[in-house]
Structure 1
Amino acid sequence: MSDQAKETLLEFPCRFPVKVMGARHDEFAQTIHNITLKHAPDFVSADLDMRVSKNGNYLAVTVTITAVSKAQLDALYMELTGHPMVKIVF
């Protein structure tokens, strides 16, 4: 068994959704798009979905990428969680 297989149950490449929540802000979705594109250069806008919270205060953005490695996903999660506009990533 390879080291990569020991670290994750995912088989790469695979489609992988990442949900990002933050305060509703005009630039939020574009910021998430740009960060995602850095880590998944083949990411397309059609794979981005947005939903506004019930009271309109928050925005949930789901980006679905073709993940090629655990390292890629880890780097994407690290950059997203470190961004000041982002409240939670799952």
Structure 2
Amino acid sequence: MPEKFEESLELLDFPCKYEIKAMGKCGVAFEALVCEVVSRHLNGAEIIDVATRQSARGRYLSVSCTIEAADRDQLDSIYLDLHSEADVLVTL
């Protein structure tokens, strides 16, 4: 994981609300893909909020999922899983 990400996780007091953002090419299934990947790691809990935003030219979509993060391992697992998806171009 990048150093700044590592440092930011040290400042979190778990459990806490945490926003995960993924960006990819616009497609009818991109939002569903991101939500499905995030949900896999929530141990039965639900995503608190989902927000989407299209790029100015409409080619890309960002999907932000707010969750109640249990611990750092959970966040690491979510980000690794998102990065393994070919349709996910960037995560924040």
Are the counterparts in 2 of residues 24 and 58 from structure 1 also a CA contact under 8 Å? Answer: yes
Give 1:43 shift.
2.1
Are the counterparts in 2 of residues 36 and 43 from structure 1 also a CA contact under 8 Å? Answer: no
Counting aligned pairs with the same residue, the percent is: 31
- Cα distance in 1 for residues equivalent to 2:66 and 2:56: 23
Report the TM-score when normalising by structure 2: 0.85
Number of aligned residues: 83
More helix by share: 1
- Cα distance in 1 for residues equivalent to 2:57 and 2:46: 30
**Secondary structure, in 3 states, of the residue corresponding to 1:63?**
strand
Tell me which amino acid in the other structure corresponds to 1:43: E
1:24 is matched with: 26
* 1:37-70 CA-partner distances (Å, limit 9, x unpaired): 10113123x6110011000000000001100000
2:5 is matched with: none
* Structure 2 residue runs without a partner (length 5+): 1-8
Alignment of 1:86 onto 2:81: no
Superposed structure 1 runs of 4+ greater than 2 Å apart: none
**Secondary structure, in 3 states, of the residue corresponding to 1:21?**
strand
**Greater Rg by CA:** 1
